[in-house]
Amino acid sequence: MGKNSFGSTFFRILKKFIFLTIGPFIAACALECFLVPNNIIDGGIIGVGIILAHLTKYNLGLLIFVLNLPFILLAFNKIGKKFVLQTFYAIAVLAVAVNFFHHFEVVTTDLLLATVFGGIILGLGVGFVLKNDGSTDGTEIMSLVLSKKFSFSVGELIMGFNIIIYSAAGFVFGLEKAMYAVITYFIASRIIDLVLEGFNTSKSVRIISDCSHDIGQALLERLNVGVTYLDGQGAFSGKEKTLIYCVVARLELGKLKEIVKEIDPCAFLTVVDVHETYGGRVRKG
């Protein structure tokens, strides 16, 4: 392995563990400064830990770590060891961070503000962990394992667990707090999606036209994007068709449409969001 390759690998691993450390601290801030003091729970094992900490007065950080431990051990030989070890690290950091923020002042006692900002900050922290191949919740690991044995998707299993947890929260904290918790979960989920998928969404475009090569050449020259020609056949006409496939920055989509319309007003376009691209000639924006 060359020096450049070693250096690249080292910095990639270092970056991963920086985010696996920062993410749990951000999530812990959301829990201790916004959600837990207002009796608003998160989903999954963290939610179970919050309920048990309220009922037993045990340390929340310790409960989060202990409750997640069986799921980590269960998954060690069933899921990639790298993912499990990184999850173990993230959960351990989260347990420490929860105790660290426990002594901070509560930011707000307004339930709506606590729900919204707690959900945003929590989603940001968890998103950093997930983006770097880790997890902060054992229910995700358990769902991965169970989905391989039963005819349920991971999403369906997580939803089932959370329905039980939020129902329990309704009995412990009251129905109103449980409803706020559901809103928190929804907000956090959307923020996690933004972190994982990114803010700069490119557009994947397919163009069907009798002037495909003219359009393709114009896109190459005027937008400087990569173009791929695909062979196709019209089902109704039976004619051979040449399709154009390309990925453009979101801000360039309007210009692309103008170019296509200028050359062939009857061209057919489909546009799909693309959240990640590697290589090729694509300008993000």
How many C-beta atoms surround the C-beta of residue 81 within 10 A?
Answer: 10
Bridge partners, residue 244, by sequence: 207, 229
Confidence of residue 43 (pLDDT cuts 50, 70, 90): confident
Mean pLDDT score, 195-221: 85
The per-residue pLDDT for 199 is 64
What pLDDT sits at residue 131?
A: 87
- The string over 4-34, giving b where at least 16 C-beta atoms fall within 10 Å of a residue's C-beta and e elsewhere, is eeeeeeeeeeeeeeebbbbbbbbbbbbbbbb
> What pLDDT, in 10s, does the model give residues 105-153?
999 999 999 999 999 999 999 999 988 888 888 887 777 777 777 777 7
Confidence of residue 283 (pLDDT cuts 50, 70, 90): low
What pTM does this model have? Answer: 0.76
Q: Can you tell me the distance from the alpha carbon of 67 to that of 45, in angstroms, rounded to the nearest whole number?
A: 7
pLDDT at 7 over 60: yes
**Domain residue spans in the chain?**
3-197, 202-274
Question: pLDDT tier at 62 (50, 70, 90 boundaries)?
Answer: very high
Give residue 30's pLDDT. Answer: 96
CATH number, span 202-274: 3.30.70.120
Which spans in the chain are helix H? 3-30, 44-56, 60-75, 81-101, 111-131, 138-147, 154-173, 175-197, 212-222, 253-263
